[in-house]
């Protein structure tokens, strides 16, 4: 079994790395704030000193950090992955970034003698804990084959989407739809209750018809309970909308609904809800 490095132990990375350890992989973890390594070390992980040291000592290294800036810093920064990768070892970045960032990281890794795969995921905290993420892989096909056993532990499906950039693009398309849906759903919940309707009845009626989906059901229940415990940080959804809109600019694709949803999420960040769950967009627009 190949040795695995895991960089970035936030909400998602922590759960994904824990599943790899529990499945018996030899895992070395690193996080910028090293306190987050302790729980995984107690499950049996080794702790690495830097992204460079982890990439140098493992057959393949996975990363799961917040945004394009973090992903670039992890790869190209001092003691970054680029400095440790080589000899055909693998780097699998699972963070959600734009295609340009992913291509920049791919060039750095291949120049340093490594192999690169982007693999952003669809799914938040619970699917990460349950190992039921949808993993959107693109890039080096031999690394995809090598990473497949680990993907099977972390996710329920891991399609190969082609050249670097296509995993990032698929993820942005999916999350752009999600952000738009959550935004209009939250407006409906708010409008209905202001009109004197019962929130739970709105949810039940939506759930019984053609619009039924797990997101409306789950996030709607959170909104009614005023429980915004973070599964998917709101600031990350706004990042995804911003990146999707930039892709629309690049491809001359009008995205009027996504642009409005992006403004709703920006408003929620300004109101102080950046680190709460995406369901909190409701609080900013009601």
Using the rule CB under 6 A, give the single segment among 52-60, 68-76, 80-88, 209-217 that binds ligand NA7.
68-76
**17 or 206, CB closer to ligand NA7?**
17
Binding ligand NA7 (rule: CB under 6 A), the pick from 3, 50, 57, 66 is 66
**32 lies in the site for ligand NA7, by CB under 6 A:** yes
Quote the least distance from Cβ 246 to ligand NA7, whole Å.
15
Q: Is 31 in the site for ligand NA7 (CB under 6 A)?
A: yes
The answer to the question of residue 68 lying near ligand NA7 (CB under 6 A) is no
Rounded distance between C-alpha atoms, residue 181 and residue 165, angstroms: 24
By CB under 6 A, is residue 65 in contact with ligand NA7?
yes
* Among candidate residues 175, 94, 172, 87, the one with its CA nearest the CA of residue 135: 94
Residue from 52, 89, 115, 236 in contact with ligand NA7 (CB under 6 A) = 236
- Does position 167 interact with ligand NA7 (CB under 6 A)? The reply is no
Nearest Cα to 5, choosing from 22, 29, 37, 24? 29
**Are β-strands 27-30 and 46-47 bridged in parallel, bridged antiparallel, or unpaired?**
parallel
Contact status: 278 vs ligand NA7 (CB under 6 A): no
Please say which residue, 179 or 233, places its beta carbon nearer to ligand NA7: 233
Residue in 56, 74, 117, 147 binding ligand NA7, rule: CB under 6 A: 74
Determine how many CB atoms are found less than 10 A away from the CB of residue 117.
28
Answer for which of 19, 28, 61, 96 binds ligand NA7 (CB under 6 A) is: 96
**Which range, of 38-46, 69-77, 132-140, 143-151, touches ligand NA7 by CB under 6 A?**
69-77
**Degrees, nearest 5: CA angle 164-168-172:** 160
In this complex, which beta carbon is closest to ligand NA7, that of residue 78 or of residue 256? 78
* Residue in the block written with tokens 């409701």: 282
Q: How far is the CB of 121 from ligand NA7 (least distance, A)?
A: 7
Question: What's the Cα-to-Cα distance from 281 to each of 95, 193, 223, 254, 272, rounded to whole Å?
Answer: 22, 16, 9, 23, 11
Cβ atoms of 281 and 234 within 8 Å: the answer is yes
Q: Which is nearer to ligand NA7, 243 or 264 (CB)?
A: 243
> Which residue's C-beta sits nearest to ligand NA7?
10
Q: Do 262 and 242 contact (CB within 8 A), yes or no?
A: yes
Pick from 3, 11, 149, 190 the residue near ligand NA7 by CB under 6 A: 11
Q: What is the CA radius of gyration of the chain?
A: 19
22 is catalytic: no
Q: Which residue among the candidates 52, 103, 171, 283 is catalytic per the annotation?
A: 171
**What token pair was written down for 21?**
């350890």
From CA 212, how far away is CA 264, in angstroms rounded?
A: 23
127 C-beta neighbours (distance < 10 Å), count: 19
Q: Does 182 bind ligand NA7 (CB under 6 A)?
A: no
Contact 17, 40 (CB under 8 A): yes
Q: Which residue has the tokens 């998602």?
A: 12
DSSP per-residue string spanning 117-133 = EE--EE--HHHHHHT-E
242 binds ligand NA7 (CB under 6 A): no
Contact residues: ligand NA7, CB under 6 A: 8-13, 31-33, 36, 64-67, 70, 73-74, 95-96, 233, 236
By annotation, the residues acting in catalysis are 171
């Amino acid at each position: 079994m190949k040795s695995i490095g895991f960089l970035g132990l936030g909400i998602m990375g922590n759960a994904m790395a824990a599943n790899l350890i529990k499945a018996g992989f030899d895992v070395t973890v690193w996080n910028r704030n090293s306190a987050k390594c302790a729980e995984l070390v107690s499950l049996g992980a080794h702790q690495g000193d830097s992204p460079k040291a982890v990439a140098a000592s493992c057959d393949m290294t996975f990363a799961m950090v917040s945004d394009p800036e973090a992903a670039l810093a992890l790869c190209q920064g001092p003691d970054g992955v680029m400095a440790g990768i080589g000899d055909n070892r693998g780097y699998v970045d699972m963070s959600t970034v734009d295609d340009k960032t992913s291509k920049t990281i791919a060039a750095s890794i291949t120049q340093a003698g490594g192999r690169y795969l982007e693999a952003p995921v669809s799914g938040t905290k619970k699917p990460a804990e349950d190992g039921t993420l949808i993993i959107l892989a693109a890039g080096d096909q031999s690394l995809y084959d090598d990473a497949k056993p680990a993907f099977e532990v972390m996710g329920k499906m891991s399609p190969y989407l082609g050249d670097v950039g296509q995993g990032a693009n698929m993820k942005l398309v999916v999350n752009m739809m999600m952000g738009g849906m959550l935004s209009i759903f939250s407006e409906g919940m708010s409008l209905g209750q202001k009109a004197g309707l019962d929130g739970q009845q709105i949810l039940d009626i939506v759930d019984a018809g053609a619009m039924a989906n797990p997101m409306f059901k789950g996030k709607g229940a959170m909104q009614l309970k005023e429980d915004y415990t973070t599964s998917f940080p709101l600031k990350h959804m706004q990042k995804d909308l911003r990146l999707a809109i930039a892709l629309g600019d690049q491809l001359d694709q009008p995205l009027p609904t996504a642009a409005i949803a992006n403004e709703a999420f920006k408003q929620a960040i300004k109101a102080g809800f950046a680190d709460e769950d995406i369901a909190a967009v409701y609080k900013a627009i009601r």
